[in-house]
Amino acid sequence: MNRLRLAGAVLLSAAAYYVYLPLPSGVSEPWKLMLLDALFRSFLQASDAAHSLGVCHRVHLLNQVVSWVEVIEARSCAAVHVTDSTLGGVPTRVFQPKEGKQLKRGVLYFHGGGWALGRMRSYDRLCRKMAEDLDAVIMSVDYRLAPEAVFPDQYHDALAASRAFLSSQVLERYGIDPHRVCVSGDSAGGNLAAAVAQELSLDDTLTVKFKAQALIYPVLQALDFYTPSYQQNQAVPILYRPIMARFWLQYLGADSSLEPLLLANNHSSLDQPAISASARSKLDWTALLPPKRRKHFRPVVKETGSPGVMGEVPELMDVRAAPLLAEQGVLGRTPKAYVMTCEFDVLRDDGLMYVRRLQDAGVAVTSDHYEDGFHGCMVFAFLPMMSSVGQRSMNNYIHWLDQNL
């Protein structure tokens, strides 16, 4: 019996050691985040091992786990009719309220996951809640994923789905008010939503355009991995700084060996002729961020770097992949915006810089910042995590849509 107790104590101690992670004092419900991070780290380590052994690509194992645990069939409930369809040839799940007004609002949603991970169960729960609370038709797009699909495939899927969503045939079929349509997404999905909003704002052939864009902790640039939020939150779960660099390289179809160069900002050194002074000004956080967010951090700009990177990965400068690089005239034509950011998120400053650039371009912007938030918190508003900041952020996001759409 004593040996069993000792073994149990050792196992518990080992588990606590694995789970425990020093976190900033202000983060919401730290033990919940530690447990979530321990789960994610386990999956990541298993997928890295499978990748190293040549069993499968690391993303394939992660998506297999997601499909086992998270993916659910289209299931209707008393309030919402759920069906699988296509938009512009792209698989899409549609959430339609069964009651309410005959003409409804419409939201096109792009899920997050580093352009590589599939739609999780939590996105169905989010879209179902949005449909019911807003009396709106919500369409969640299953765009193609890395590594099989790389940029611009995901962008093209998002654009095709958006054009179809705004077509008279789709609007009439689902009873959507053409004056009350929004494009939205979180993380990598926020990237796609921002890029689509820019592209379609320039298309004068469209008779219907998005009236709002709602971006949830979006990823918007890959030239500076030393913004204050990247420096402050590099070791804060669930999106670690190296993981974001890896996601970018997978999305752009680039060699994973370039990861250390990106993390050192060698790809954006001053000797890179492809990066003009104008482009650098569009993500100059020393000018675009308020002092409260800049804090004590200093820019990391190399005089000389790795000159071949931009030639090898020119997509780093493509505005369709990095919407923060858009010209002010383009931003000025995009619809009113909601941008959610979280203090303990490496992508915080991507969103805050975009807020400033949109405002400078004359766009009405609501900046919704969560001082205790972390990356991905909104989709963890549901069981089993029931994140407090996730629930607050989700409710405020839905409230903004209700008031502005």
pLDDT tens digits, 314-340: 999 999 999 999 999 999 999 999 999
Tokens representing 258 are 């370039």
Q: Note the pLDDT of residue 18.
A: 55
8 A C-beta contact, residue 354 and residue 289: no
* Residue 187 is a catalytic residue: yes
Length of the chain: 405
For the stretch 352-393, pLDDT in tens is 999 999 999 999 999 999 999 999 999 999 988 899 999 999
* Residue 345 is a catalytic residue: yes
* Residue 60 is a catalytic residue: no
Distance CA 105, CA 175 (A): 9
Tokens representing 22 are 């020093």
> How sure is the predictor about 59, in pLDDT bands with cuts at 50, 70 and 90?
confident
For the stretch 144-162, pLDDT in tens is 999 999 999 999 999 999 9
DSSP single-letter state for residue 57: -
Segment 46-61 mean pLDDT = 78
For the stretch 63-116, pLDDT in tens is 676 666 655 788 889 999 999 999 999 999 999 999 988 899 999 999 999 999
Query: Domains along the chain?
Result: 78-220+320-404 (3.40.50.1820), 228-316 (no CATH)
> How sure is the predictor about 13, in pLDDT bands with cuts at 50, 70 and 90?
very low
CA atoms within 13 A on the CB side of 277: 0
> How sure is the predictor about 5, in pLDDT bands with cuts at 50, 70 and 90?
low
Among residues 47, 122, 140, 187, the one annotated as catalytic is 187
Report the phi/psi class of residue 165: left, alpha or beta, with left for phi > 0 and alpha for psi in -120 to 50. Answer: alpha
- Based on its alpha-carbon atoms, the radius of gyration of the chain, rounded to whole angstroms, reads 21
8 A C-beta contact, residue 150 and residue 57: no
Q: Note the pLDDT of residue 14.
A: 43
Q: What is the pTM of this model?
A: 0.94
Q: What percent of the chain has pLDDT over 90?
A: 80
Tokens representing 242 are 């190296």
Q: How big is the CA angle at 400 (ends 394 and 405), to the nearest 5 degrees?
A: 125
Among residues 37, 124, 186, 345, the one annotated as catalytic is 345
